[in-house]
A and B are shown apart, each in its own frame.
Chain A
Amino acid sequence: AQSVAQPEDQVNVAEGNPLTVKCTYSVSGNPYLFWYVQYPNRGLQFLLKYITGDNLVKGSYGFEAEFNKSQTSFHLKKPSALVSDSALYFCAVRAFGAGNMLTFGGGTRLMVKP
């Protein structure tokens, strides 16, 4: 069975500082990894995905994520946080043999303080 872990319920960072939201996964075979963001009273918005190729994936709103196969991680990063980045972030994984199901982590709340 595939699974995703987001070890931090909340991440606090000051505006202008770099941010990292952690994600680790467990799958059989190659992982296909996704990050989504959920703002209050809104649906999930797609940020980026890793399919194959370059381990550093660039996405929307200046976010990027680094795929590390040996550590089974896919951490979300941004060089300089904005207050408007404050939201709930979800990591998700798909793998062959698990149908079309996206398995989500529990989410990490990012709080960016001015």
Chain B
Amino acid sequence: DSGVTQTPKHLITATGQRVTLRCSPRSGDLSVYWYQQSLDQGLQFLIQYYNGEERAKGNILERFSAQQFPDLHSELNLSSLELGDSALYFCASSERAGEITDTQYFGPGTRLTVL
């Protein structure tokens, strides 16, 4: 168990809907990262927050947004959902701002199914 928690474990919704995925980092970690894992795209970095501020952006769609709250938990909001958004969404955390040597610890993921 990495200490990173994600809720819910599974989410089934319809196209056009909006969902929110939640992540709590390991105790003491200040950075949160979001990744998408799909069969065709593999594991892709979406976005990073450090101590409440956006730190780095990857291949995140404009329909997706995230935030990190004062208690350091993070939420990933996915809107206008499409079938292709069906994937496993991982949250990871690290101790610092994401120094190049930092290890990221991953949560168990949220499996999103869009019907």
How many whole Å from B2's CB to the nearest CB in chain A?
A: 7
Look across to chain A and name the residue whose beta carbon is closest to the beta carbon of B109.
A43
Determine if A43 and B108 form an interchain contact, defined as CB atoms under 8 angstroms apart.
yes
Is A94 within 8 A of B100, CB to CB? Answer: yes
Specify which of A44, A94, A96, A106 is in contact with B42 (CB 8 Å cutoff).
A106
Bound CA span A45–B92, Å: 10
Give which listed residue, B31, B101, B106, contacts A44 with CB less than 8 A: B106
Interface size class of B (residues with CB under 8 A): 20 to 34
Q: How far is the CB of A91 from chain B (nearest CB, A)?
A: 11
Partner among B6, B55, B101, B108 whose Cβ is within 8 Å of the Cβ of A51: B101
User: Do the beta carbons of B58 and A43 come within 8 Å of each other?
Assistant: no
B43 within 8 A of A: yes
Known: A43-B90, A44-B90, A45-B2. A104 touches B42 (CB 8 A): yes
Q: List which A34-66 residues lie within 8 A (CB) of chain B.
A: 34, 36, 41-46, 49, 51
Q: Does A28 contact B (CB under 8 A)?
A: no
Taking CB atoms, residues of chain B closer than 8 Å to A43 are 2, 4, 6, 90, 106-109
With contacts A45-B2, A100-B55, A104-B43 known, is A32 near B101, CB below 8 A?
Answer: yes
